[in-house]
Amino acid sequence: MKRKWSIELIQSSHEANTACELPIATKDAKRYKNDISRSTSIARPPTLSDELTSPKIPEHISVILEHISSRTIFTEYQCKSYDFIIRKRPKFVFFLGAVGKEYIDDIHSIALSPYISSIFVSSGVFPETRKSFSVSNDLECNKLSSFLQILDPLGGGLYPLDYIMVLDVNDLVRSLLPIRICRNSFHSPHEKFGVDFEKLPGLLEEYKHYLSDYITTSN
């Protein structure tokens, strides 16, 4: 089953939110151009789309993500990292269902990067108990999952399907990929082109290597 998120879906929402009509900042535009020039030196992972075909999330979705990040109490590692002083960074946004949310600690440890933010979107995970993580509340989970149309039809409208969304510094959706958490002989249609949980560390390393260059080549 092909997910309904698409360039048309995101662009139509973008057009309905006039706040999205802000021009790209000069620094972000420079990074945007760097993505093209880097293609000859750093191979783009095949599961990441190029910037010319990637839809941009609308302003109201970006605001929700930033609000989730703002609740985080930064660790000593993060405060000493260069990313702490950078306003715009690539993001890993993990949508985790009733089973997937049990792996937040594991995913957080393999996603940790000095150049990329990680945000966890699920239901029934209380942000006040995860202050060193960027974790959504139930309402934010519903809004984000509903927008991308990845609410689990078997989750009572509460939980998202397990996905990773990758955003670059310009809030372009470079990837929206299902995560296959449980091994079994049957996968839902949306998981056909997903990544097995066991292979997620390797995939994230590829993403980190490629996306961190947005930071290191533009300063």
Cβ atoms within 10 Å of 202's Cβ, excluding its own: 11
Residue 70 maps to a domain:
yes
Specify the CATH number for the domain of residue 35.
3.40.30
Residue 80 maps to a domain:
yes
How high is the pLDDT of residue 126?
78
Per-residue pLDDT of the chain (219 residues; tens, 9 = 90+): 445 455 455 555 444 443 333 344 444 555 445 555 554 467 889 999 998 999 999 999 999 999 998 877 555 444 445 444 445 789 999 999 999 999 999 999 999 888 889 999 999 987 776 667 899 999 999 999 999 999 998 878 899 999 999 999 999 999 999 999 875 544 555 556 789 999 999 999 999 999 887 555 554
Structural domain of 141: 7-216
Two tokens at 60? 């109201």
How high is the pLDDT of residue 154?
84
Region for residue 176 given its phi and psi (left: phi exceeds 0; alpha: psi -120 to 50; beta: otherwise): beta
Q: How far is CA 59 from CA 15, 16, 24, 27, in A?
A: 10, 10, 12, 18
How high is the pLDDT of residue 133?
82
Residue 1 maps to a domain:
no
How high is the pLDDT of residue 123?
94
Residue 187 maps to a domain:
yes
Residue 183 maps to a domain:
yes
How high is the pLDDT of residue 73?
56
Q: Are 119 and 92 in contact (CB under 8 A)?
A: yes
Residue 2 maps to a domain:
no
CA distance 118 to 7: 23
Number of separate domains in the chain = 1
Residue 153 maps to a domain:
yes
Residue 199 maps to a domain:
yes
Chain CA centroid to CA 209, Å: 16
Two tokens at 105? 């600690």
How high is the pLDDT of residue 178?
94
- Amino acid identity of residue 211, one-letter, is L
Cβ atoms within 10 Å of 132's Cβ, excluding its own: 12
